[in-house]
Amino acid sequence: QTVVTQEPSLTVSPGGTVTLTCASSTGAVTSGHYTNWFQQKPGQAPRSLIYSTSNKHSWTPARFSGSLLGGKAALTLSGVQPEDEAEYYCQLYYDGVLRVFGGGTKLTVL
Amino acid sequence: QVQLQQWGAGLLKPSETLSLTCAVYGGSFSGYYWSWIRQPPGKGLEWIGEVTHTGSTNYNPSLESRVTVSVDTSKRQFSLNLRSVTAADTALYYCARSYTNWGQGTLVTVSS
C-alpha cells in the first residue's frame, strides 16, 4: 500500500517562512508524481494552491511556492499571514492510475 | 467560471448503495479528470476515483471492488456509485475537476 507522509503539525510566526513536505513510501518524489497542494480551512472545501509540483493558479498568493526538496515535494510559505492558518494536503500521482493524498499538515500561525 | 454542483442521498442504511451526481457548469468538459474525494468527519482526504470524458477510469484499490465512477457528457454530469456501504463510508463527499475546481460537498451518513 502506497503511503504519502506529511508533518502532522507545524507552527510559524506571522511574517515568517515555513516549508511543508510530502514524502512517498515508494521512494523519492519526482516531477513525474505531478504533486498537487491543497489548502483547507474549517467548514470549507479544499482549495487547490499548486499543481504539477510548482505551478500556481491565478488565485494562488505569491507567497506560496512548490518545489522538490531532498527527495520530497515541498510547499513553502514566505511571509506567512494569519489567514494562512489551515490544513494543507499534498497529493501524488502514481503511474498514471493512482492518486494518494497525504495525511495533512495543520499549520498554526502564532 | 467553472462551477460544480453535486447532490445525492445524505442518509443510507448499511448495505445500501451510495449514489451522488455532480453537474458541471461552464468550461470545457473534455481533457479533464472528473473525480470523487471523500473526507470522514475530523479526518483527512481520501481519493475515491476519477473518470475522463471518454469514460476511462481509475480507482482507489481499497474501494475498487465497490465503486463505479461514470460520466454523461451530454448532460455534463458525472456520478459516483458506492455499493454495500457501512458506517466506515460515512464522510463528506466532494466532486472535483482535475482537483482544481471542487463541489460544495455532500455529507453522507450510513446508519441503521
| Predicted pLDDT of residue B54 | 87
Whether the CB of B60 is below 8 Å from some CB of chain A: the reply is yes
- Using the predicted structure, report yes or no on whether residue B1 has a pLDDT greater than 90: no
Chain A residues touching B35 at Cβ < 8 A: 99
Query: How many angstroms away from the CA of B100 is the closest CA of chain A?
Result: 5
Distance CA B107, CA B8 (A): 9
Percentage of the residues of chain A whose pLDDT score is greater than 90: 100
Distance CA B46, CA B48 (A): 6
Distance CA A57, CA A54 (A): 10
- Please give the mean pLDDT across all residues of chain A: 98
Helix, strand, coil percent content, chain A, rounded in steps of 5: 5, 55, 40
- CB distance A101–B44 less than 8 Å? yes
pLDDT in tens, B26-73: 998 889 999 999 999 999 999 999 999 888 999 999 999 999 999 999
For residue B88, the one-letter residue type is A
Whether the CB of B29 is below 8 Å from some CB of chain A: the reply is no
* Stretch among A100-104, A106-110, B53-57 having the lowest mean pLDDT: B53-57
| Predicted pLDDT of residue A4 | 98
Whether the CB of A45 is below 8 Å from some CB of chain B: the reply is yes
Half-sphere exposure in the Cβ direction for A103 (13 Å, CA): 11
Question: Residues B20, B8: contact at Cβ < 8 Å?
Answer: yes
Give the other-Cβ count within 10 Å of A2's Cβ: 13
- CB distance B99–A104 less than 8 Å? no
State the best of B43, B51, B69, B99 to mutate against chain A, taking most chain A CBs within 10 Å.
B99
Percentage of the residues of chain B whose pLDDT score is greater than 70: 100
- Using the predicted structure, report yes or no on whether residue B92 has a pLDDT greater than 90: yes
| Predicted pLDDT of residue B28 | 87
A65, three cell numbers: 511556492
- CB distance A45–B105 less than 8 Å? yes
Give the other-Cβ count within 10 Å of A5's Cβ: 14
Half-sphere exposure in the Cβ direction for A78 (13 Å, CA): 6
Question: Residues A37, A49: contact at Cβ < 8 Å?
Answer: yes
- CB distance A89–B100 less than 8 Å? no
- CB distance B105–A36 less than 8 Å? no
What is the pLDDT averaged over residues A29-50?
A: 98
Whether the CB of A57 is below 8 Å from some CB of chain B: the reply is yes
- CB distance B47–A57 less than 8 Å? no
B84: left (phi over 0), alpha (psi -120 to 50) or beta: left
Question: Residues A91, A101: contact at Cβ < 8 Å?
Answer: yes
Give the other-Cβ count within 10 Å of A6's Cβ: 24
* DSSP assignment letter at B28: -
Question: Residues A98, A2: contact at Cβ < 8 Å?
Answer: yes
Whether the CB of A63 is below 8 Å from some CB of chain B: the reply is no
